[in-house]
Structure 1
Amino acid sequence: MSQNFGDGEGSALAERRQVGAGYGGMGSPNTAREKEDLRKARRTFLDGSSALRRLLGAWLVSLGMALTVLFSSHPAEAQALTRESEVLYVGDRAVVTLRGSVGGYTARERVTSANERLERALTKSTPPKVTLDDVELGTRVLVDGEPVFLVTRGDVDVQIGETPHFLAEESAKRLERAIAEVRRQRSQPFMLQALLTAGAGTLVYAILLWVLSRLATRLTRRLSLAAASRADRLQARGVSILDTGRILRFIRWVFVALTWVMGAGATIIWLAFVLSQFPYTRAWGEGLGANLRRLAWEVAVSIGRAVPELLVVIFIAVAARTAIAISSWFFDRVEERRLLVAWMDPELVRPTRRVFGFLVWVFALAMAYPYLPGSDTEAFKGLSVLVGLMASLGSSSVINQAASGLTLMYARTIKVGDFIRIDDAEGTVVEIGVVATRIRTGLGEMLVLPNAKILSSMMKNYSQPVHGDGCVLDVEVSVGYTTPWRVAQTLLLQAADDVPGLSPTPPPFVRQVALNDYNATYRLVARTPEEDPIVRARILSDLRGAVRDIFERNGVDIISPQYLSLSQRTSVPRAETPESLRS
């Protein structure tokens, strides 16, 4: 392009010379022709410079793209160079970490050169002296005036505020300790002293284990005896609530576990102490001791952080206990009838007290749960879900029985002291529990009936129709139609008069309850003021015996359809009854 530009300019000048010569050599060119030539020359110059600028711009863009591809195509190599590092060890102690290359030497070559210089310094008989020297590139660490390694800006961690001088100073301190240890480990007196110290530590460790074992054995024996004596005192109706053998095994297991934990801690301390006595294993011992101290510190910090939350838990527990104590004062006065409340009967005080205490503790647990140490961990959450799932699957029947028990209590279906009959079970209610109800029969037996069964079965309560103390007793008999009903009624009332223990007011009465195909059914109803279940059963038995006696004396049969089909007799022969039993 430059050649074209030069050729154009030369041809224009030559043409101008020719034009001037054409005018007779006078040197006065034609004005219009000269202007046109100048315009052409200027246009040619501008075209050439614009093409040159375009060429220069394209070259710069290509260079930028090439540099971008060059630096972006090797990020891993650049990162690897910046991350290249090597640790300088003296003996078994780390002194400094050198990163990157300096003067063409890589980190590994720098560490190798430093090891060689240190080995020469350690061969001297006099203890070497470690000094520092600040240079342009960083800070040198010298041993007896000879440079060992150089700490540059590439070796420091700028993010934590390190400087080459600070890192070199710390490295010099570690180097002095490492050199002293290396020199000591090569001396026989030091190794002998280390052996004696380790032996003394081992002896103390063995004595500690023996004392710990003996102490655990004695404490286990004493606590086991104390727990066994207290467990024997915890009895309900003569039955021991706690199993002494299981209590002893549990206490023994707890003390064995504590002994093992304390023994493991003593073993770690002893091992760290012994390993730290020898230069070859000192790094292991110091690391083990550092880990143990860090663990103890973390445990202490965790306990310290948990103290405020534990105080909140204790405050919630104290508040719950206070609420239960205040409610107990209220319930005691209602139960003793010293405080009259229209919406609560004294018989409902005991179940209401239990329900209120249960709700208070559930509410307290819900309030204290977020403050329990470790409640926000995944393990604690998983354990809570597992316990909740097990409780929901295994307590469905218990919840059903508890709901039935509350229904029995608050619906006033039965109460303690009532004389009831459920299917074949008959007796006096002794206790209405959350899950089951206890009934004492006339034979002294204790029947335990689930509350759900009581609600789902037909129940006869002989105590509620009676105002005041006592209960109702009834006897049903079937008499043939050959006996007038007035005769049967009179005989039953006479039998009631012959039985002691029945109350004259209200007087006994007889009702006809059924007219069957072959007989009529009569029911004798009487009242007794007795509260003792055994006395009630005896009076009922006497009443039934009196009915049979008076019927037999008057020649009246107690019949049923089965009796008619199996017996050919229509009356009871008096001759078959012994004379001594006819009275």
Structure 2
Amino acid sequence: MVVDSAVQQKTIHPMVEKGGFPVDADSTIFLFKGIGPYSLEERAARVREKLTALENVNLDITPLKVEYNQEVNDILCQDQIILSINDADAQALGLSRRATTEYYKDLLKNALTQEEEGFSNLLFVNIGIALLIIGLFIFGLKYYNRLFRLLAFKLQAQKGKVFKGFKVKQYELLTVEKQLLIAGWLLTVAKYALLLFIIYLLLPALFALFPWTQGLANKLIHYVVDPLVALGHKIVGYIPNLLFIIVIVVILKYFLKLLSFFKKEVATGRLEIKGFYPEWASPTFNIVRAIFIALAFIGIWPLLPMSNSEIFKGVSTFFGLLVALGGAGAFSNIIAGLVITYMRSFKIGDRVKIGEVIGDVKEKALLNTKIKTIKNEIITIPNSQMINSHTINYTTANEEEGLILHTTVTIGYDVPWREVHKLLVEAALATEHIKKKPHPFVLQTSLDDFYVSYQLNARTREIQKMALIYSELHKNIQDKFNEAGVEIMSPHYGAHRDGNQSTIPQSYLPEDYRAPSFRIKTEE
């Protein structure tokens, strides 16, 4: 090797006095300043590690290369940077950075170059080791398969012991056979996954035995080690956020349990709050629970992994848009359902009339209310529609003196009103489920051109039999009026008359009453 005369005059060991740090055992390569995040000592240690890994590399197979950059010059072996030279290293030697780089390249080449004979002997040894590793792997593969067959038999033996099926209430979600099938599938996946992992670990061991594949071995190791190290650093760095999330979840869990306890106490009536009704307990609990879950989610969201990534933001925005576009009607029904609950218009089991629908309330939900009509029809009414229509609650009206049923008949003026009142009251009292007290009563709602409108009012407690009671009441009205000889009609008079006869009922007229005749007078 021919070295520049200026370089030959330089002494190496006195470089320690200038602040140099030796890299190799022979103290031929010195570094004088750190690079990037690495201090001088860390930089020297990394170079020493790389040189140790290349001790058995033959330069005919793995030549050294140099890359000249603006800040530093790099010496590479198999596309891996072995040593970087900066201006401080060159100034300490009294050379230019380029000359220093070439000088250290020659030193590295001499250190890494070995006798061909020694290399050949080592190569044969390494080939023997590789064949031994492959043989042991093939031999162990036989027992590896036996091991997993034994585990499969062990799984089958657990039928009825560990694998007993899985039920959710009365529904059998997983039978014993399905559990065994899933367990066998998982065991097969584990078998081949572990085998691939072992092969992946064996490849770097084999590649590391030969100089021309050592670089590939390092890459395979880094493919596994680097992600695991990065993942480990991220997990360790995420521990404070994880602890904070756990604290929030635990506090929320026990706070909701406390709220659930008070909800049950209020709903059952054991705890009374003035102005707060028991039926408000469940919806109020649901509202408060939703609010606190939302607040906890807002607090946890920034702590989630990748919460600030663009992908995470895009997905969350997309789902938010879907909810906004598709949930407008649902949200209006939810709000209407809450309003109806706190209005206390009705409760489950009440007989109501909503719009034109009459029936019993069977279900109250956030989105709709289900009504069972007297014809056994189940009608589902959206809550947003209910909030815009009037609601009649017959059950609430029945809580005091009973619900007042009413019906109207029109009778001509020729029938005395007292007789009509009497007949209507008798018909009501003859009807089953009509209360005798308070007594039924009649209202004359209008005096029309040809007839009078009589409205019969009677009370009942049997609101579930309203249709039957009305039907029987109408039958009794017909019977009572027919027995009394009174026509139920709304007469329209079309006969010609002189208009002299009084329209007052006959009972009110004198017995000797005679209709006056026409007076005709002629003049001469």
TM-score w.r.t. length of structure 2: 0.61
Q: State whether residues 334 and 346 of structure 1, in contact with CA within 8 Å, keep that contact through their aligned partners in structure 2.
A: yes
Aligned partners of 1:485, 1:315: CA distance in 2, in Å?
81
Instruction: Return the offset for 1:415.
Output: 3.2
- 1:420 is aligned to 352
The answer as to 2:122 corresponding to 1:183 is yes
Amino acid at match of 1:542: I
- 1:554 is aligned to 481
Instruction: Return the offset for 1:292.
Output: 1.8
Q: State whether residues 429 and 435 of structure 2, in contact with CA within 8 Å, keep that contact through their aligned partners in structure 1.
A: no
Segments of 5+ residues of structure 2 without an aligned counterpart are 1-53, 79-91, 492-524
Amino acid at match of 1:272: Y
Amino acid at match of 1:341: I
- 2:220 is aligned to 288
Aligned partners of 2:232, 2:291: CA distance in 1, in Å?
35
Deviations 1:457-477 (A, max 9, x none): 333222334545x86252434
Instruction: Return the offset for 1:355.
Output: 1.3
Amino acid at match of 2:474: V
SS in 2 for 1:463: helix
- 2:19 is aligned to none
Structure 1 pair 448/192, CA: closer, same or farther in 2 (3 Å)? same
Within 5 Å, give how 1:88-103 maps onto structure 2. Answer: 90=57, 97-99=64-66
Q: State whether residues 480 and 519 of structure 1, in contact with CA within 8 Å, keep that contact through their aligned partners in structure 2.
A: yes
- 1:387 is aligned to 319
Structure 1 pair 462/321, CA: closer, same or farther in 2 (3 Å)? same
Instruction: Return the offset for 1:372.
Output: 2.0
Structure 1 pair 547/419, CA: closer, same or farther in 2 (3 Å)? same
Q: State whether residues 426 and 480 of structure 2, in contact with CA within 8 Å, keep that contact through their aligned partners in structure 1.
A: no
SS in 2 for 1:456: coil
Structure 1 pair 254/500, CA: closer, same or farther in 2 (3 Å)? farther
Within 5 Å, give how 1:427-446 maps onto structure 2. Answer: 427-442=359-374, 445-446=377-378
Aligned-pair Cα RMSD in Å: 5.2
The answer as to 2:201 corresponding to 1:273 is yes
Structure 1 pair 457/191, CA: closer, same or farther in 2 (3 Å)? same
Aligned partners of 2:158, 2:322: CA distance in 1, in Å?
36
Deviations 1:63-82 (A, max 9, x none): xxxxxxxxxxxxxxxxxxxx
SS in 1 for 2:315: helix
Instruction: Return the offset for 1:353.
Output: 1.6
User: Identity of aligned pairs, percent?
Assistant: 22
Aligned partners of 1:516, 1:542: CA distance in 2, in Å?
28
Amino acid at match of 1:275: L
Deviations 1:215-267 (A, max 9, x none): 9999999999744x21535xxxxxxxxx959x99x999998997797567535
Amino acid at match of 1:342: K
Amino acid at match of 1:99: V
**Residue of 218, 223, 239 corresponding to 1:307:** 239
SS in 2 for 1:374: coil
Structure 1 pair 384/467, CA: closer, same or farther in 2 (3 Å)? same
Count how many residue pairs are aligned between Structure 1 and Structure 2: 405
- 1:193 is aligned to 132
Instruction: Return the offset for 1:399.
Output: 0.5
Determine which structure has more spread, i.e. the larger CA radius of gyration. 1
Aligned partners of 2:99, 2:189: CA distance in 1, in Å?
48
Structure 1 pair 154/356, CA: closer, same or farther in 2 (3 Å)? same
Instruction: Return the offset for 1:485.
Output: 5.4
Segments of 5+ residues of structure 1 without an aligned counterpart are 1-87, 113-136, 139-150, 157-163, 234-242, 531-535, 562-583
Instruction: Return the offset for 1:408.
Output: 0.8
- 1:324 is aligned to 256
Aligned partners of 2:455, 2:181: CA distance in 1, in Å?
65
Structure 1 pair 203/253, CA: closer, same or farther in 2 (3 Å)? closer
Range with bigger deviation, 341-350 or 185-194: 185-194
Deviations 1:551-572 (A, max 9, x none): 13422677799xxxxxxxxxxx
Q: Which has the higher helix share?
A: 1
SS in 2 for 1:339: coil
Instruction: Return the offset for 1:456.
Output: 2.3
- 2:403 is aligned to 472
Aligned partners of 1:560, 1:258: CA distance in 2, in Å?
86
Q: State whether residues 495 and 543 of structure 1, in contact with CA within 8 Å, keep that contact through their aligned partners in structure 2.
A: no
Aligned partners of 1:508, 1:97: CA distance in 2, in Å?
117
Aligned partners of 1:397, 1:526: CA distance in 2, in Å?
43
Q: State whether residues 491 and 547 of structure 1, in contact with CA within 8 Å, keep that contact through their aligned partners in structure 2.
A: no
- 1:78 is aligned to none
Instruction: Return the offset for 1:155.
Output: 7.0
Structure 1 pair 399/154, CA: closer, same or farther in 2 (3 Å)? same
Amino acid at match of 1:269: F
Structure 1 pair 201/428, CA: closer, same or farther in 2 (3 Å)? same
Deviations 1:284-327 (A, max 9, x none): 45533431232233333333333322222222122222322222
Aligned partners of 1:364, 1:230: CA distance in 2, in Å?
29
Q: State whether residues 185 and 191 of structure 1, in contact with CA within 8 Å, keep that contact through their aligned partners in structure 2.
A: no
Amino acid at match of 2:101: G
**Residue of 450, 455, 460 corresponding to 2:387:** 455
Q: State whether residues 422 and 460 of structure 1, in contact with CA within 8 Å, keep that contact through their aligned partners in structure 2.
A: yes
TM-score w.r.t. length of structure 1: 0.55
Q: State whether residues 268 and 278 of structure 2, in contact with CA within 8 Å, keep that contact through their aligned partners in structure 1.
A: yes
SS in 2 for 1:476: strand
Structure 1 pair 263/478, CA: closer, same or farther in 2 (3 Å)? farther
Q: State whether residues 420 and 459 of structure 1, in contact with CA within 8 Å, keep that contact through their aligned partners in structure 2.
A: yes
Deviations 1:464-510 (A, max 9, x none): 34545x86252434435366655554444333323444445544444
Structure 1 pair 254/111, CA: closer, same or farther in 2 (3 Å)? closer
Within 5 Å, give how 1:179-578 maps onto structure 2. Answer: 183-185=122-124, 189-200=128-139, 202-203=141-142, 226-227=165-166, 229-230=167-168, 232=170, 265-266=193-194, 268-279=196-207, 283-284=215-216, 286-442=218-374, 445-468=377-400, 472=403, 474-481=405-412, 486-512=418-444, 523-530=455-462, 536-555=463-482
Structure 1 pair 264/380, CA: closer, same or farther in 2 (3 Å)? farther
Q: State whether residues 474 and 523 of structure 1, in contact with CA within 8 Å, keep that contact through their aligned partners in structure 2.
A: no
Instruction: Return the offset for 1:420.
Output: 0.8
Q: State whether residues 499 and 539 of structure 1, in contact with CA within 8 Å, keep that contact through their aligned partners in structure 2.
A: no
Structure 1 pair 269/367, CA: closer, same or farther in 2 (3 Å)? same
- 1:154 is aligned to 101
Aligned partners of 1:414, 1:93: CA distance in 2, in Å?
94
